[in-house]
Every structure is written in structure tokens, then in C-alpha cells.
Structure 1
Amino acid sequence: MNSRFPMVFSVTSGKGGVGKTNISVNLAYTLAQSGKNVVLLDADLGLANVDVLLGMAPKYNIFHLFQEDMTLDKVMLDTPYGFRILPASSGVSDMVNLDKGQKLDLLDAMDALEDEIDYLIVDTGAGINDNVLYFNLAVQERLVVLTPEPTSLTDAYALIKVLKMYHGVERFRVLVNMVKDQKTAKDVYIKLANACDHFLDGVSLDLVGFIPFDKNVRNSVVAQIPFCHGEPDTPASRALVQAAKLVNGWKPTTATDGNIKFFWKKLLFQEQSVA
């Protein structure tokens, strides 16, 4: 059993195409390589591609748990890289329509996971639709991924604005991806921070790091392996490892907030929270 409660955090973005899922996969890999027990939940509904990046073909997702004789062990897949994935590529959009018994069944299934793992990483979809908001409201920390593109910056701000103004979320972590240098990354972060300071009182942004543009990343994507595994000595991999070290230092503010069952409870019982 863990000496502390697991950390549950999302990797999210306001815009697609910023490398969010690739960051999720490589954070899972790097944390697992540091000795942590990690599960990556694919919550990018309808466009789920964690399995694609890993060259895997999941047969089940979490909603198969409602079938007779289905267990969490059958749904969750081991990867060759030391972490597991929990597919959720279909059915999650119907989460608010589950009856009470189904919700309790799912909570019970997740109970077994709680004592096993150190991190649950939630790879959300992009944008501000209901499913993205659901997952971002249920986690302990939110890592917002963006690039130097103006549209990425604008959409990241939009996501933060909705979560702050309508749901009271005030703390965000930021990672700037595919930048040419550190100065560019800091300029992007400062622009986002200035916009939040000016228009969103109380929002706190913490720069976790930046990942430089690296052609080797594409080679690993084509090969369907984490770039930190396939190209461990490249600039992108070294930067990702540094970011993972900061993530490894995150602590739940309370035991309850970091609790896996609490994550699912918030997710499954907040039907009105994104209305």
C-alpha cells in the first residue's frame, strides 16, 4: 500500500495538435522509469489515440466493466514501457446517464486501483466541451499544454477562463511544447500569465517547463514508441525528463483530493457541474 495517496492529474489543452497525448505518454513513461506505478487514462473521447501512439489495440474500455465477469485487470493494458493504460474511447459521453447502481459498481472497481498506483494521468480531449471539463474538474492538478502559435495561446486561455469563471478552478500548471528555445517558451508563458492576471483574478499559473521542437519526436511517433524511450538523448527527451521531475514533486493538497476513488466520485456524481 502507498505511504501517501496517489496523485491524479490531467494533461489538457485548449487546442488540438499541440502534442498533448504525446506529452501524456512520455510523462507516464518517464515517471514509470523513476520507479513509480503509473496508469494513463485515455479520456480523449471520440479521438482517443494513446493506443495508436503505443502501437496497441485495446479490446475493452472502462464501460465494459458493467458486463458480467469483466474485471479491471481485463480492461487495463500493460505496455512494454512500465506503465498501464486504461482505455475509455467510447461510452464515457454517456457517463451522466448511468444509473446509481452502475456508478457504484464503477467506484468499487476503481477501489482496487487506488492502493496500487502512484499516479493516474488523465489525457483529456482538447477544447472546452463537457467531457473535457468533467475530467479537468475531477483531477487534483491540471497541466495545460500549448505551443507558440497564437491560436494555441488563445484557446489555452479560453479553457482556463471557463474552468475559473464557471467552476472556480484557480491553479494550473503550464508546459510549452514545440518551441525553438527557452526565451520563446518564457514569452508564451508570460503572455498567458499576463492575460490571466488582467482578466481572471486569482488564477495561479506555474511553468513546469518547455519541450523544444525536435525532429526525433516525429520519428518516435511514426515508430509508435515514446520518444523518451526511442530517442532518450535528444533535446525533447531531456526537457521532458526535467518536467517529469517537477511533476514528481507534486503533492495532493489533502488526502481526499488525491484519492483515486474521490476522482471517480467527483467525475460520476457532478451531473450539474458543467451545465
Structure 2
Amino acid sequence: MSDAITSPLGATAPENSTIPGAVAIASGKGGVGKTWLAISLAQALARKGERVVLFDGDLGLANVDIQLGLTPAIDLGTAIERQLPLSRAATPCAAGFDVIAGRSGSGGLANMPLHRLAPLMQGLREVSGQYDRVIIDLGAGIDRPVRMMAALCATALVVANDEPTTLTDAYALIKMLTSDQAPCRVGIVVNSAQDVAQGQQTYATLSKACNNFLKIDPPLLGIIRRDAKVKEAIRAQTPLLTRHPGAVAALDVEALAGQIPLINLT
């Protein structure tokens, strides 16, 4: 297979450029609600009138399509195998945005060599010209492919909760993202907080570590309160803003969406 991914667009972006309007959703470890937040944020931005594509960048454990109840005719793996333009893998969903779905459990994608990952990233740069906003749901952790995908974005939202191991891993991720050759602006989102006060306390703990050891002060961009309707919506494979638009977590995500244009003007 050729290393190049054919582009449907006439122009190509520089290989090391970030994608205007792109936001990475990242976490140091799994299980913090990163994919749910990526889906909900994509929908909230779409409801504001933006053209949004959500790219499932968790190359080995992709599940955006599962949470949305989608069955894409062409997923990321198929596009790569058939050397198709990446735009062919963009699947509209009822929530008002497009999805480029991964392939869950695909060893071929999860173990993609770095030299193969670069053409994929270039394909995403090119297809992004059709959208106002690109949301990239990264895989959990600090591996090199995760950081390479994050480098496509001027901004990365690091999702954390109050569990000590989650905070430790979030700190490690922030350290890597801000020390790489193409560092992201990092913001913190506290998910599943008991209330706003607990969310602020969780942020304060993480912020203190960043201040003490990294000499940086990543801003708190949002607190998503714990809400039983989130799990219910995930089980129903329906976005929260569709199923329970008045839920407290839905309102919190919409508030977060209002912050995105203020921090990512690249």
C-alpha cells in the first residue's frame, strides 16, 4: 500500500502545520469519559452552527461509532486499505456532525508504524478544509502516536477526575504535551465531578503539580458534573444532548463549547 492518502482537495497543508480549529480530547488513562465528552462537545459545537467532524483517533480501541449507534459503510481502516480519500470515511450522524470512525480492536491500526501515521495525519489536515471544527478523540496514554496526533491541534483538552491515579496520569500527559517539539496549549476539563466545588478542588490539585514541577498553569476550561443520565444515554447509544438536553452534564458541556472559540483561534 502506498504511504500517501489521496486528498479530494486541490491544495495540501504543510506537513508540520496544525489544523485550524482543531481540538484534541486527551486523557492520561482510560475510563474518564473522554470519548463521551468528545461526542458531546462535537454536538454542542454543531448546535452552535459550526460544521464539525469528529475523528476517532483511538486507533486500537475506537468506539465513537458504537456510542453513536453508527455503522459506517467506510471506516478509517477501510479508507487506508483501499487508499481512498479520507473524506469518503466521513459519515453524517443524526446529532448534526460528521464522524470518521476507527476500527475497534484493529491491531493493524493500533500498531501502525510512525512513518505510516504521518500520511494519515496529512490526510486529516486536508479533509479538515471542509469543516469549521475538527475534534480528535485521542487514545488514552502518552505513547508517541497519541502525541503526534495531538500535535495536529493547537489546543488539547486533558480530561481528568478526582481519582489519584487519574490525576497522576493526567499530569504525565500534560508534561509530555507541553514539552514536545510542537507543544499544544493545554486546558483541563474535570469530568464526573460531584459538584462545582469538588471539580475546582480536583483542578487545584492538578494545577498545583503543574505549577510546582512544570512551571505552567493550564487553565480550567470546564467542570462536567456527575449525572446518571450520561450512562443511560451511552447505553441507549444516543448523544446526551439529544436524549436529555436539559441534563446538568449537557448544560456543562454546552458551557465548555462556549469556551472553545476563546482559546483556539489558530
TM-score range, shorter chain: 0.7 to 0.9
RMSD over aligned Cα, in angstroms?
2.4
Partner of 1:242: 255
Gaps of 5+ in 1: 254-275
Give the Å deviation of 1:167. Answer: 4.0
Give the Å deviation of 1:70. Answer: 3.2
Which amino acid is 1:98 matched to? R
Query: Which secondary structure does the structure 1 equivalent of 2:22 belong to?
Result: strand
Paired residues of 1:6 and 1:117 also in contact (CA < 8 A) = no
Query: Which secondary structure does the structure 2 equivalent of 1:178 belong to?
Result: strand
Partner of 1:179: 193
Partner of residue 60 from structure 1, selected from 74, 77, 87: 74
Partner of 2:114: 96
Give the Å deviation of 1:165. Answer: 3.7
CA distance in 2, matches of 1:53, 1:128: 24
Partner of residue 116 from structure 1, selected from 107, 130, 138: 130
Partner of 1:134: 148
Paired residues of 1:170 and 1:204 also in contact (CA < 8 A) = no
Q: Work out whether 1:8 is the aligned partner of 2:22.
A: yes
Change in CA separation of 1:116 and 1:158 when aligned onto 2, cut-off 3 Å: same
Query: Which secondary structure does the structure 1 equivalent of 2:139 belong to?
Result: strand
Partner of 2:12: none
Change in CA separation of 1:77 and 1:152 when aligned onto 2, cut-off 3 Å: same
Change in CA separation of 1:48 and 1:145 when aligned onto 2, cut-off 3 Å: same
Q: Which deviations, in whole Å up to 9, do the C-alpha atoms of 1:5-38 show, x marking residues without a partner?
A: 8401100000110000000000001101111000
Which amino acid is 2:132 matched to? D
CA distance in 1, matches of 2:74, 2:245: 31
Paired residues of 2:58 and 2:138 also in contact (CA < 8 A) = yes
CA distance in 2, matches of 1:237, 1:180: 15
Q: Work out whether 1:210 is the aligned partner of 2:235.
A: no
Give the Å deviation of 1:170. Answer: 6.3
Query: Which secondary structure does the structure 2 equivalent of 1:174 belong to?
Result: strand
Paired residues of 2:114 and 2:145 also in contact (CA < 8 A) = no
Give the Å deviation of 1:248. Answer: 3.2
5 Å-filtered alignment, 1:1-275, equals: 6-66=20-80, 70-89=84-103, 90=106, 91-92=108-109, 93-98=111-116, 103=119, 107=122, 111=126, 113-167=127-181, 169=183, 171-201=185-215, 203-253=216-266
Give the Å deviation of 1:80. Answer: 0.8
Query: Which secondary structure does the structure 2 equivalent of 1:152 belong to?
Result: helix
Query: Which secondary structure does the structure 1 equivalent of 2:263 belong to?
Result: coil
Percent of matched pairs sharing the same residue: 33
Query: Which secondary structure does the structure 2 equivalent of 1:31 belong to?
Result: helix
CA distance in 2, matches of 1:45, 1:139: 17
Query: Which secondary structure does the structure 2 equivalent of 1:11 belong to?
Result: strand
CA distance in 2, matches of 1:86, 1:20: 17
Query: Which secondary structure does the structure 2 equivalent of 1:172 belong to?
Result: strand
Give the Å deviation of 1:73. Answer: 4.0
Paired residues of 2:156 and 2:184 also in contact (CA < 8 A) = no
Equivalent pairs counted in the alignment come to 244
* TM-score computed with the length of structure 2 as normaliser: 0.83
* TM-score computed with the length of structure 1 as normaliser: 0.81
CA distance in 2, matches of 1:151, 1:109: 32
Give the Å deviation of 1:135. Answer: 1.2
Which amino acid is 1:216 matched to? K
CA distance in 2, matches of 1:43, 1:150: 26
CA distance in 1, matches of 2:83, 2:137: 27
Give the Å deviation of 1:88. Answer: 3.2
